[in-house]
Amino acid sequence: MENNKCELIAAVDLPTLDAAREFLEKLDKATPYVKIGPRLYAMGGAAFISEIVKKGYSLFLDLKLHDIPNTVASAVEPLSEMGLWALTIHTSGGHEMMSRSVAMRDKRGSRMNLFGITVLTSLGGDLWSEVHPGSDLNRSLEARALAAERAGLDGIVCSPLDLSLLRGKAEKLARVVPGIRRTRASTEDQTRVATAKEAAEAGASYIVVGRPILEAADPISEVRSILKEISGVQ
């Protein structure tokens, strides 16, 4: 992507549109990168997206699309025209699903980044084996990253612990990294986690942080403290 510096994406996983508006107002673009997921998208739709984009934020819509190639590419068509900075699709949907999405985005003349989910950061150990019996998580992760690169995606979403495994592979792709915690001990449902500094040092292009910011006593000073932690790490 543009540079080697690690940037912070604030995940605005709040329960209402008004709570999100209030957060964005207070954030005042301390970081310009913000992410919303299916909940706020279901509540606010295209109008809410346009409202955030007009405020000058680089908006990441994390819908993690995963369906047959035609269905995903046809959803990418209108999503390409909303002024989004980025959208997620699943690499496990396969090469055709990803490459047709890229082709659709390009056909619409959009600059929206397409990021591929590799393996969810919540899916470690037994949770992985239960739904992928006999399959090695690391091999799947690597194969999915390479497939994303071949299909022309702009980045991959992976756990901070996956960054070392992916070093030197799929190098054209930005690394978008959730699963960030203030300490390794506080994990909630994220099982493959690291601190912001560890992720930046391991090569994250963007870290995605939700609850550690939103549940802090003072969310905006938490944003500033994370920005300070990752600044200067190349």
Nearest residue to ligand C5P by CB is 210
196-200: Cβ within 8 A, 24+ apart: 196/8, 196/226, 196/229, 196/230, 197/229, 197/230, 197/233, 198/160, 199/6, 199/160, 199/163, 200/6, 200/229, 200/230, 200/233
How far is the C-alpha of 196 from the C-alpha of 163, rounded, in Å?
13
154 binds ligand C5P (CB under 6 A): no
The one catalytic residue in 64, 107, 169, 228 is 64
- The correct pick among 6, 8, 11, 112 for binding ligand C5P (CB under 6 A) is 11
CB atoms within 10 A of CB 147: 22
156 binds ligand C5P (CB under 6 A): no
- Nearest approach, Cβ of 89 to ligand C5P (angstroms)? 12
**Count of helices and strands (H, E) across the chain:** 9, 8
- Nearest approach, Cβ of 2 to ligand C5P (angstroms)? 21
How does DSSP assign 102-156, residue by residue? HHHHHHTT---EEEEE-S-TT--HHHHHHHSTT--HHHHHHHHHHHHHHHT-SEE
For ligand C5P, the closer of residues 108 and 211 by Cβ is 211
173 binds ligand C5P (CB under 6 A): no
Question: Of the ranges 78-86, 162-170, 178-186, 216-224, which one interacts with ligand C5P (CB under 6 A)?
Answer: 178-186
Question: Of the ranges 25-33, 39-47, 117-125, 162-170, which one interacts with ligand C5P (CB under 6 A)?
Answer: 117-125
Q: Which of residues 73-92 bind ligand C5P (CB under 6 A)?
A: none
Q: Which residues are catalytic?
A: 64
- Contact residues for ligand C5P, defined by CB under 6 A: 11, 13, 37, 62, 117, 120-121, 157, 178-180, 190, 208-212
